[in-house]
Amino acid sequence: MHACGHDIHMSAFVGTARRLVEMRGQWRGTLVMIGQPAEERGGGAKEMLADGLYERFPKPDYNLALHDAASAPAGTVGYTPGYALANVDSVDIIVHGIGGHGAYPHTTKDPVVLAAQIIVDLQTLVSREVSPLDPAVVTVGSIHGGTKHNIISDQVLLQLTVRSYTDEVRKTLLDGIKRIAENQGRVAGLPEDLLPEVTVRTDEFTPATYNDPELVGRVTSAMREAGVATTIVEVPPVMGGEDFSEYGRTEDKIPGFIFWIGAVDPVLYQETMAAGGTLPSLHSPFFAPAPELTIKTGVKAMTIAALELFAKPE
């Protein structure tokens, strides 16, 4: 599968490097290209910074990135000034139980039933505890427990992704998950030492991505002027996460901008929209970017963005 389209990203990366080298006479300055790993884990940028990215290599004045969009046709660019992508937290819940025979449930504490109750209760965090005007997501993406039809297990593991923009909403969600999980354990009659264990994976936290509005204005005007895409439009923020945010969160507060490049075959896009259908999202096994136009647009847009920020030759 193409997942997030990282094949598109790397091709556009190489293409941009080639273009900028070819155009070496038209700009002055230092270009640093970051081949960052592990975007999906959200850990690569943090690790590169911890490893001295800004000390061992020239420290940039601006940071730029692009990401493909599974909801826009190839040949287009989308941008969001201000907050563009969400806070992303990964949370593990170990639901303990007291195992036994499936035919004698009264002698057990069934963690499968308890996990099911926790999952249903978690739905009330977004629907009842967060303001309808504040974006928030709690998704249980993974549930594992049990081994056999007739065995009541002693453990279920849940893995959650939790998304927000503000620190306050983030805290409401994370505190609420712990409160619901632990107290549902009490409701089930578990002893205190067997209550569900909630772990927020701070090593996998990705902070919300902020696009510097002034930089966005400058770069998108240059893109429009150069005609890099058929459409260059402002798009709403999304609840996806992107550890590109980390590059702007050091004490240097370097302004950054990540923009979207449409990746869907334009004909498929038109047909799907006309039929009122839905396009497969990023990470869907059915997402297949239209390679040539997407990559070309990415290379053109990123090259123009970089040229705009570099000084001109004397």
Q: Which residues bind Zn ion (CB under 5 A)?
A: 4, 40
Please, which residues have CB within 8 angstroms of residue 142's CB and are 6 or more apart in sequence?
157, 158, 159
Closest CA to 305 of 64, 82, 21, 18: 64
Q: Which is nearer to Zn ion, 4 or 86 (CB)?
A: 4
Q: Which is nearer to Zn ion, 4 or 261 (CB)?
A: 4
**Kind and range of the H or E run holding 220:** helix 213-226
Q: Which is nearer to Zn ion, 40 or 61 (CB)?
A: 40
Q: Which is nearer to Zn ion, 4 or 45 (CB)?
A: 4
State in angstroms the smallest separation of the CB of 68 from Zn ion: 8
State in angstroms the smallest separation of the CB of 6 from Zn ion: 7
State in angstroms the smallest separation of the CB of 260 from Zn ion: 11
State in angstroms the smallest separation of the CB of 105 from Zn ion: 40
State in angstroms the smallest separation of the CB of 67 from Zn ion: 6
Provide the strand spans (E) within the chain.
Answer: 63-73, 76-79, 82-85, 87-96, 100-101, 136-145, 151-152, 155-164, 197-200, 209-211, 231-234, 256-264
Q: Which is nearer to Zn ion, 80 or 153 (CB)?
A: 80
In the complex, residue closest to Zn ion by CB: 4
Q: Which is nearer to Zn ion, 20 or 282 (CB)?
A: 282
State in angstroms the smallest separation of the CB of 35 from Zn ion: 15
Q: Which is nearer to Zn ion, 38 or 267 (CB)?
A: 38
No. of helices (H) and no. of strands (E), the chain: 8, 12
CA distances for 107 relative to 31, 99, 132, 146, angstroms: 67, 8, 43, 17
Q: Which is nearer to Zn ion, 40 or 292 (CB)?
A: 40
Inter-residue contact 269 to 305 (CB < 8 Å): no
CA distances for 232 relative to 37, 105, 222, 309, angstroms: 28, 60, 11, 19
State in angstroms the smallest separation of the CB of 45 from Zn ion: 12
| Burial readout 71-94 (b: 16 or more C-beta within 10 A, e: otherwise) | bbbbbbbbbbbebbbbbbbbbebb
Three-state DSSP string of 143-208 = EEECCCCCEECCEEEEEEEEEECCHHHHHHHHHHHHHHHHHHHHHCCCCHHHCCEEEECHHHCECC
State in angstroms the smallest separation of the CB of 242 from Zn ion: 7
